[in-house]
Amino acid sequence: MGGTVSPVIISTDKTQLTQFSGGKSAYPVYLTIGNIPKGIRRRPSKNACILIAYLSVEKINRTEMNMSDQEHRIRVQRVFHEAMRVVLEPLIKAGNEGVEMTSSDGSVRDVFPLLSCYVADYPEQCLVTCSKYGTCVKCRAKASELGNEEPDVPRTQSWTHDVIREASIHCRDSPENLRARHFHTYCMERDVAGTVHRPFWEGFPLCNINQAMTPDVLHQLYQGVFKHLVAWCQKAVGAKNLDARIRALPPAYGLRHFKNGISALSQISGSERKNMAKILLGCLIGIMPKEAIKAVTALLDFIYIAQYEAHDDITLGYLDDALKRFFQHREYFIKINVREHFHIPKFHALLHYVESITLFGTTDNYNTEMFERLHIDFAKNGFRASNKRDEFPQMTRWLSRQERLSRLETHQRTSSSSGDISMEPTPTPGPTKSTTSISISKHPTYPKCKIDVIREKHNAPDFDHYLKLYVNSRLPESQPRARISDIDTYNLPFDKLDVYNLFRFHPTAINDDDSKAEIVKALRKSRTHPQGQFDTVVVLVGDSAESTGVEGTRLYIRISLVLVAHIKLGTRIGRIRVIFSFPDILETTMGPRERPSSWHKEPLAFIEWYSPTPASADENQGLMYRITKTTASSTGRVQGAIVPLRSIRQSCMLSPSFGRGAVPKDWRTDTVLDMASTFFINNWNSKYAYQTIW
């Protein structure tokens, strides 16, 4: 019989049960363990996180008890610590003596559960660690020192306990009616919350509650750091100017379009903040000086790198470098009187990210978003099933029944499958046909569509020219080929093609989780889309493209434990105008003919190229690559090509170069790709794009 440690992860977070009236809330306590792989722990359906308690949400009647605001806060915080002690007290004995448990292989081991991580937002972190609000919960930096570029001496629970004990001794001789006030004052002068005499974590084996406070991507980065950053940029460039640029951005898959800008939004959700982060930098280039662009780029780099789902020394070095670059350029916001100082707790918390990731793993192991999703299953659904009166006994009873039903279903599945004979599944025809990384509808949206109609509906006047080039290039060697200069006199043997509206691109996963499919559209002009919608993509145009990214001359970087190179060599940015395929039977001037075997059977795309990607990105432009529209100087024809869909590597978003002036009136979300001539490749559009387009 062996022994093992089980790292216990605790999360507490209050949530509203009623939406518009009633004011009822719940305060669930969740528990999971670090031995479970994060891919399982992050899925609510796997039941890897469990509800262990509801804390009290009863309000104390301050008027009847004649309490001041300070006394009320003290009572509330003491109730929290007393309740958490009752809930977690069994961990003390189990952590010291161990508990015999049977693993999946049948072995019996002594398991020592140790409180290792506590997931909460900043106010609750202060409550749990007994830290003074406005200071750091992980080090002893004072409120006036949070803007320093280095962390202070680490806080420890033994140091906090010593301050509380000293405060109790110091106030022992004070009058009874003033003892609590003197105790509170003594502690607060030392940056400890003077509300609790005995924190719940006292006595837990091998526990450092301050070190256990984990980074919080949602509240610290998006609802904290990025929220401040947006407000500073709005003051620096003007909210109306920023809104005008945001309204003119082209559509992109997975991106919310803020049709009215962002300045009028209230109660902004975390999802909206993430969508703002995808587009902010492109809207600032040209209107903010290079010093400000570098500061904004550094913070966005930190936010995105902090969310990598795998880290090593190289990526942690990138994270540290991004923070140093922000410190180097942040003075711009003080110069323009947007800020007076940077003594902000959520900014100071960035100093502790590398340490926490090194100790506890990547931030998706303990992000508050994972636990907030559990509110639906463990609080809101149970409340809806109750009669809304004395709801907590009903909610716990309802949850108990749900757990039993879940166990029964699991037992039935395992019992019914245990006697089955293993057989290979018989493939069944599905609604789509797929290539290596592309899936497209089995039937075309517009079968046998005339080429003249395609040219007009898809804004592709040069489509037939490049189609002739393609057909000419696929002729067998025994047949004479037309000269390029004479290609426009060449007559196509057909005048109809099968046309599709869209396809789905399945990017290769660069982490443990499967990447979601992206939808790429080439929608013809219609009543609902007067201008049509023609998305932009990254296309492989050379043999080296499979092993390089946008910038092939730069060194490989290690992301998610695999090598992902930067793009340039072998790829090019283009706008997809037409998605089509050749019919099996061509209607030619000489009657029906079978499609030649040398032509692609799979769907193809007509791409209008932008200029080749530069050798490097300009850091004064947010490290985004700048490209322009291309036309042939002799004919005025756009540069383009017919390519197989499997040559398309991924979708991408282009942010127009707005310059310093006002946004032209004819630049709208549906016209800006046609009206603008210069663009930046927006690598912030998704975490996948950020890791593959640098």
pLDDT tens for 599-608 read 888 899 999 9
DSSP result, 407-460 = HHHHHHHHHHHHTPPP-PPPP---SEEE-SSEEEESS-SEEEEEHHHHHHHTT-
Element (H, E) at 29: strand 28-33
The predicted structure's pLDDT at residue 416: 67
The pLDDT score that the predictor gives to residue 215 is: 95
Backbone angles phi, psi at 301, to 5 degrees: -60, -45
Q: Is 294 helix (H, G, I), strand (E, B) or coil?
A: helix
Antiparallel, parallel or unpaired: β 585-588 and 591-594: antiparallel
The residues facing 574 across adjacent strands are 537, 609
pLDDT, residue 486, reads 66
The dihedrals phi and psi of 539, each to the nearest 5 degrees, come to -115, 135
Residues 6 or more apart in contact with residue 561 via CB below 8 angstroms: 310, 312
Q: What is the number of alpha carbons within 13 Å of residue 595 lying toward its C-beta?
A: 15
pLDDT at residue 593, rounded to an integer: 77
Answer yes or no: are the C-beta atoms of 161 and 201 closer than 8 Å.
no
Query: Nearest CA to 206 among 375, 308, 85, 92?
Result: 92
Consecutive 10-residue averages of pLDDT for the chain (694 residues): 88 89 89 91 87 89 73 89 95 94 85 95 95 96 95 95 93 83 92 92 94 95 96 95 96 91 91 95 94 96 95 95 96 94 96 96 90 91 90 92 86 65 39 57 92 94 90 73 68 87 79 66 92 93 48 33 42 94 77 78 93 84 89 76 90 93 93 94 91 80
User: Would you call 572 helix, strand, or coil by DSSP?
Assistant: strand
Q: What residue ranges do the domains of the chain occupy? A: 3-130+195-214+366-406, 217-364, 433-692
| 446-472 pLDDT tens trace | 999 999 999 999 999 999 889 988 888
Residue 466: name the closest of 308, 616, 606, 634 by CA. 606
Alpha helices per DSSP H over 150-307: 157-170, 176-189, 209-212, 227-237, 239-247, 270-284, 290-305
The pLDDT of residue 505: 83
Taking the C-alpha atoms of residue 586 and residue 591, their distance in angstroms, rounded to an integer, is 8
pTM of the model: 0.89
pLDDT computed for residue 510 by the predictor:
58
Sign of the dihedral defined by the CA atoms of residues 366, 368, 373, 379, in that order = positive
**Looking at residue 65, what is its pLDDT?**
66
What is d(CA 460, CA 452) in angstroms, rounded to the nearest whole number? 10
635 burial class (0-12, 13-18, 19+ CB within 10 angstroms)?
exposed
Q: Is the dihedral of CA 433, 436, 440, 446 positive or negative?
A: negative
CA separation for the pair 140, 191 (Å, rounded): 8
Bridge partners, residue 450, by sequence: 496
